[in-house]
Structure formats: C-alpha cells, structure tokens
Structure 1
Amino acid sequence: MKSLTAMIAIATLSLTAGLANAKDLGPDQALKLRDAGTILSFEKLNAAALAKHPGATVGDTELEENYGKYMYQVELRDQQGVEWDVEVDAVTGVVVKDHQDH
C-alpha cells in the first residue's frame, strides 16, 4: 500500500512540475521579445492561426514560455460560432495545435 501511495505522490509531483514550467508572459515581456526579433509579430502569429479558420475572429491571445519555447495561444470564433483554440510556435509561426474548444 505504501508503494502505491508513493507512486501516486511521484506522479502528482511530476505532473505539477510540468505545469509549473509553463509561464504566462505579460504584455511588456511579449513586446520586448517581439521588438528584439525573438518572436514574430503578433499580426503574423494571428495570421497563422486565422489561416486554419478563414473568416474567423480573434478573441483572447496569450504568450507562454514552456521549456524555453515561446508559444502563442489564440482563441478563434469561426463564422458558424464555433470556438477554436490554436497554438502557434511564436518563433517560427508554425501551428502546433488546433482543436475545437469545449
């Protein structure tokens, strides 16, 4: 029983450590990264997300640093009212996730 409890504790700590590594970046940090050329412009990142859902509108956006990678998250609403979560690599502009919001 102790080993099961220990395994659950280790699994929980591992998951928590992974979540803690993702860091939301504020607008000032995001602008500094953009101005330094570290990440693409927000217009280009939004365009990459919108290319997956032409005619959609951009809702909330967020820039995160996760394991040293900058990821730009965009919430879109398409013309049918369906919401989409799109994640774009902020350095390359490549869409890495695109799924319907539930």
Structure 2
Amino acid sequence: MKRLLSLATLATLISAATIAQARDLGPDEALRLRDAGTIKSFEQLNDAALAQHPGGRIEETELEDEYGRYIYKIELRDAQNVQWDLELDASTGEILKNHQDD
C-alpha cells in the first residue's frame, strides 16, 4: 500500500512539474522578446503560417515559453474554411506542428 501511495505521489509531482514548465507570455514580455531579437516578429511568424495555407486567415495566436523554448501557437482557417493548429519555434520561424483541428 505504501508503495502504491508513493507511486501516486510521484506521478502527481511529475505532472505538476510538467505543467509548470509551460507558461503563456503576456503582450509586454512578448514585445520585449521581439524587440530584443530573441524571437521573430509576429508578422514574420504569421506570414510563415499563412504560407502553409494560402488564402487562410488567422483566428488566434499566443506565445508560450515551453521548457525554455518560445513557441508561437496559431489557429487559422484555410480558404476551404478548415481550421488548422500550427506551432512555430518563435526564435527561428521553424514550423513544428501543422495539423487539422478536430
């Protein structure tokens, strides 16, 4: 029983540590990172996402710090009205994820 409780406690701690590693960045911090050249401009990141889906329109964006890596998340609708979720490395502009939303 003690072993089971210890495993459950360990799983909870690992889960909490994982959640704590990703955080949303506010507009002021995002602009500071952009101005410092740490991340690409939002226009460049948006253009890279739209290049994947010509004729699309961006519906929502957010910048997160995930494990020390800045990730720019974009939800967009393509010309056929299909919704897509994209993730880009905000420092390099590399497309990390590009999949149709369920």
Identity of aligned residues (%): 59
State the shift of 1:2 in Å.
Answer: 3.2
* Secondary structure, counterpart of 2:81 in structure 1: coil
* Secondary structure, counterpart of 1:37 in structure 2: coil
Unaligned runs of 5+ in 2: none
Unaligned runs of 5+ in 1: none
State the shift of 1:58 in Å.
Answer: 0.4
Quick one: distance in 2 between partners of 1:48 and 1:11?
38
* Secondary structure, counterpart of 2:29 in structure 1: helix
* Secondary structure, counterpart of 1:23 in structure 2: strand
- Partner residue, 2:26: 26
State the shift of 1:101 in Å.
Answer: 1.6
**Aligned pairs, number:** 102
State the shift of 1:50 in Å.
Answer: 1.4
* Secondary structure, counterpart of 2:87 in structure 1: strand
- Partner residue, 2:40: 40
RMSD between aligned residues = 1.3
Please show how residues 67-86 of structure 1 align to structure 2 within 5 Å: 67-86=67-86
Whether 1:14 and 2:14 are equivalent positions in the alignment is yes
Q: TM-score with structure 1 length normalisation?
A: 0.91
